[in-house]
Amino acid sequence: MTTLPPGFIPFSQVLATGPSAGPAKVYAVVNQSGGAGKTTSAVNIAACAAEYGWRTLIVDGDAQCDASVACGYEPDELEQPTLYDVLLDVATFEETIVPALAGRFGGEGTVAIENLYIALASSNLEDAEQLLATRVGREFWLRGLIDAVRDKFDLIIIDCPGNLGLYVVNAIVASDEVIGCVKPGWKELRALTRIEAKIEELQRVLAGVKAHLSKVLVVDVPSHRSQGAVYDDSKKTVASAYEEQMLPMIRRSPRIPEAYAAQKPLRFYDRAGEATQNYYDVTKALGFRRRTP
């Protein structure tokens, strides 16, 4: 039998006994290309906000399950319901929500992280686009789920897969604001323009879309593309084109993939590291400073 980690409080129990929170601010972390630092950012901003006293939920809708893995879970190996079961109407959204962990579920020394929860993904979410396509109100499915738990959290961060498909449309429609997460580079700068165009299209054709590209987060993810002068220029261009929206930049750090492999948010792996500090700064820039009791 798997041993539950210390501090593990099922969300249903928190609902029954925990102090009230919310209504949550909802962010979607978006970029149509893969490997832009979306999941790393969603998980680490959420972990910093949780430390500052904000009850936070990460929503993992990506069939790669990277956010779930980063928070200690291998959802395909557990019997825990995931968003896929919600799509099939065999589980409720609340049943997918579990405490985020520092360390692997069932592993020695693993603890539940105070104030931090995750709605789990699973690999069968690859079918999500098809399942969503046939639903009535197909762009609003996730908004319905999230609106129902808004009062239980202070902050909800939706980690998106690397595309602008129907699930990501759901995430944008469900959110108050979109964080465009980009690597420094010319191609990446164009990605921001495409995200803005997508949001504008959604605002035009669907009623009640509140989200806009309110924040841009540049993450210095290692890249195979040429760097040097072109790279420096592109960083400056992103900063000047999106001056108002720029969040503090996340530096490159080998500790980031190491923390992912250890299934821990950075603050539990490399607390004093520069990238960790960058994520605290981003969290504060989003308005989630340490909460005073």
Compute how many other C-beta atoms are within 10 angstroms of the C-beta atom of residue 269: 19
Distance (Å) of CA 193 to CA 8, 35, 212, 268, 274: 42, 18, 12, 35, 29
- 62 lies in the binding site for ligand ATP (CB under 6 A): yes
The alpha carbons of the chain give a radius of gyration, in whole angstroms, of: 18
Scanning 31-39, 106-114, 211-219, 247-255 for contacts with Mg ion by CB under 5 A, the matching segment is 31-39
By CB under 5 A, is residue 40 in contact with Mg ion?
Answer: no
How many residues sit in the footprint of Mg ion (CB under 5 A)? Answer: 3
40 touches ligand ATP (CB under 6 A): yes
* Contact pattern for ligand ATP over residues 170 through 209, marking x by CB under 6 A: ----------------------------------------
Residues of this chain, 185-204, that bind Mg ion according to CB under 5 A: none
Asked if residue 35 binds ligand ATP (CB under 6 A), the reply is yes
Q: Is residue 34 at the binding interface for ligand ATP, with CB under 6 A as the rule?
A: yes
Candidates 38, 198, 235, 264; binder of ligand ATP (CB under 6 A) is 38
Contacts of ligand ATP in 122-161 (CB under 6 A)? 161
- Please compute, for residue 290, the number of CA atoms within 13 A of its CA located in the half-sphere on the CB side: 2
Nearer to ligand ATP, 81 or 161 (CB): 161
Contact 49, 271 (CB under 8 A): no
Residue 98 or 266: which CB sits closer to ligand ATP?
A: 266
Among 69, 219, 247, 249, binds ligand ATP (CB under 6 A): 219
Contact yes or no for 32/165 (Cβ under 8 A): no
Alpha-carbon distance of 259 to 87, in angstroms, equals: 31
- Shortest Cβ 151–ligand ATP spacing (Å): 28
Residue 66 interacts with Mg ion (CB under 5 A)? Answer: yes
- Other Cβ atoms closer than 10 A to 237: 14
Least distance in Å: CB of 38 to Mg ion? 5
Q: How far apart are CA 257 and CA 255, in angstroms?
A: 6
Residue 275 contacts which entry, Mg ion, ligand ATP, none (Cβ below 5-8 A, type-dependent): ligand ATP
> Using CB under 6 A, which residues numbered 234 to 253 contact ligand ATP?
250, 252-253
Of residues 39, 115, 122, 278, which one binds Mg ion by CB under 5 A?
Answer: 39
Residues that bind Mg ion (CB under 5 A): 38-39, 66
Residues that bind ligand ATP (CB under 6 A): 34-40, 62, 64, 66, 161-162, 219-222, 250, 252-253, 256-257, 260, 275
